[in-house]
Chain A
Amino acid sequence: MSDFNHRVCPATGLRIHKSAENLIKANAVVAIVFLAVGGLFGLLVALTRWPGVHLLPADWFYLALTAHGLDVLLVWIIFFEMAVLYFASAVLLNSRLATPRWAWAAFVLMLVGAAITNVAVLQGNSSVMFTSYVPMQAAPHFYLGLILFAVGALIGCFVFFGTLVVARDEKTYEGSIPLVTFGAMVAAIIAVFTIASGAIILIPTFLWSLGLIGNIDSLMYRTIWWGMGHSSQQINVAAHVSIWYMVAAVVLGAKPLSEKVSRGAFLLYILFLQLASAHHLLADPGLSSEWKIFNTSYAMYLAVLGSMIHGMTVPGSIEAAQRARGFTSGLFGWLRNAPWGNPAFSAMFISLVTFGFLGGISGVVMGVEQINLIIHNTLYVPGHFHATVVLGTTLAFMAATYLLVPLIFQRELIMKKMAMWQPYFFGVGVTGIAVFMMGAGTLGVPRRDWDISGADAMIKFDFPGAAYLMMGLNGMFAILATLGGIMFIVVVVGSLLFGKRTGDKPLEGLTMTTVTEYGSVEHPKIPGTLVLVGVFFVSFILYYFVNWKYLAEVWPLR
């Protein structure tokens, strides 16, 4: 049964089944279309919040912001994750995909759901933001589309689990599943929890919007909705960390320093990441401090521990591979001689560094129960999650795309120079967005606000000039990031349409000679990584305590 309908990948020797390949293509292409749409909405949002430009009128601004969150945070990322799940199961395990028909049903449901919710938003009476907090009400089909999308994604997860079973049954691989597949499995397990939370809250909300349920409690809504909203970001973390390992493996032949440690770190994600719904409820009434402290810290920071471990083992495995290849000079010779001109590598490495330094540290700090008082709902929050979701997840997915184009679509990249520069444009642009939004947030600028000057308000409040400056800089860097985004779309879509078909060597120019053995060295030396980790740790400690100091300066309250 698994002997026909497949090709053998000339680069990796893996059997790639037609059904899996087509599904990966379809999901990835739709994902990229929504990235383009949602990204442009994001540009409109940033240009409106740039006080000197103030592009859109208020109603269009809130509409664009709702569409931006929906299309990039949800649709782009989940569609791409479906492609990653099918790749990590069927392709990496050398197997056929379980029930491709169900996978297509999942694809259609997700596409229809995404389209319905987008229509609801564009019709103008569902500008309720991505979070759609009750008692503010959207049109019923806004919720219906989300529910269909979620059901589709859930089916996709089960196709992934089914494929793991099929591969094991048909003995398509030996021993344990690869680390990347393990990470994808972690993502899928978290996804099931996430989608269940979404169903529990969105189905009653849908019925409420139809008038069949009288009342939805706003605190209950926020508590359960964030069981989906934050946990879905943990799907992303598990998925993009897997991609870091994958890119390091494909491009540099890096192998994990220790399977045990890396898998253990992923395991911590399954056990503790889902507690993070509390991050959004720290400034809410009616929840006890005990509940908040335990949940917001993922039970004593055990999921943060997982990420800090990956933060060492991913660059550590790259350093080990580079040193094995002969780049042994000094502390950072391995890094200087890394393939910085290869967009898969540079996108992955920028994602790794910025996710850790900007997204990780800011996330832990704002997740402190009390420090959240000086951050909650300010622009600091979107500043933080642009560092995690855009720099972390989206940039990692872009890195993965640069490998999927030759491996799965079997096309060479066109415009290689533009591809080479793309991760830098996008990375620097989004870093600016994240930093300046966080800066404006520390000055008290609210998120989701059309005009901070209060021109139409009866009572005025003047934000400091520095806040306006930061909003302007945010707009400028958003333009840079958009350029990076357009370059990505042009290169990828152009390559799919006009790229030369790859022959026997699809990865030529993308990878170096693979190093799978580190000789007799049992534990390769990684001094450069240790220095980087030390710098990270010191920054983390300093920034953490500086924010306690800021908190100590505000009016006492209890």
Chain B
Amino acid sequence: MAITPPAERVWWNLPVARSEIIWVIVAFIWGLVMFSAMVYWHLEGEQNLSNEAYRISPEAYMEKATAMVEQYQVGEEAGMPIVHPPPGSEVYLVARLWQWWPIIEFEKGQSYRLHLSSLDWLHGFSLQPVNINLEVHPGYDMVITITPTEAGEFGVVCNEFCGIGHHTMIGKILVTE
């Protein structure tokens, strides 16, 4: 029994039933398949993290974001600037207690280099209802190249707990045709 020492002292030499051996082999191969799938997607898939990140101070990041907003602002909503940066450009989204700043307008089918960083605590970038979720750190500038494939209004919900106003930290990304 499992609660007593094995009945045969030399248990490690006892033969193993065929059904058990087959299952171990099948499970092992399935593991290799799943491992290969990640490697394959990393090389060929369309949805991958870039691995591109830089150390940056919150002040320096805010400076870049402010410069971008000044250059590309096209409107305002609820006191929040709306920016329309040209395709292919560097776009800075600021995470801070408790807002995503500014509102960004993309063009459908165009690619952008989207930067994400926090000025204070950890935040979670959750693009809804697309459902892309990324961790946003202070001091790290994460860069992803993103290509919106549908037009419309999208929410940026914070999904990393960031204090009492966490649930009010909602931003917006617009995608035009």
Contacts and interface: CB of A to CB of B under 8 A. Distances in A.
B89 to A, nearest CB: 16
A480 to B, nearest CB: 26
A246 interface: yes
A301 B34 contact: yes
B19 A369 contact: no
B166 A450 contact: yes
Interface residues of A, number: 109
A15 interface: no
A552 B2 contact: no
B84 interface: no
A177 interface: yes
A285 B140 contact: yes
B51 A370 contact: no
Contacts of A368: 34, 37-38
Interface string A209-227: 0000000011100100000
Contacts, number: 311
Interface in A270-324: 281-286, 288-289, 293, 296-297, 300-302, 304-305, 308-309, 312-313, 316-317
A374 B132 contact: yes
B147 interface: yes
A370 B41 CA distance: 8
B171 interface: yes
B23 A523 contact: no
Determine the main DSSP class of B at the interface with A.
mixed
A378 B126 contact: yes
B42 A218 contact: no
A313 B23 CA distance: 10
A543 interface: no
A53 interface: no
Contacts of B6: 175-176, 178-179, 259
A217 B55 CA distance: 11
Interface in B17-74: 17-20, 23-24, 26-28, 30-32, 34-35, 37-39, 41-42, 45-51, 53
19 contacts: A58-B164, A127-B164, A175-B5, A218-B139, A255-B2, A293-B38, A308-B27, A316-B20, A373-B47, A376-B133, A443-B131, A446-B126, A450-B167, A458-B168, A526-B19, A537-B26, A548-B37, A551-B45, A555-B149
Interface of A: 12, 58-59, 62, 92, 127, 129, 133, 135-136, 173-180, 217-219, 222, 245-246, 248-250, 253-262, 281-286, 288-289, 293, 296-297, 300-302, 304-305, 308-309, 312-313, 316-317, 364, 368-370, 372-378, 442-444, 446-452, 454, 456-464, 514, 516, 522-523, 526, 530, 533, 537, 540-541, 544, 548, 551-552, 554-558
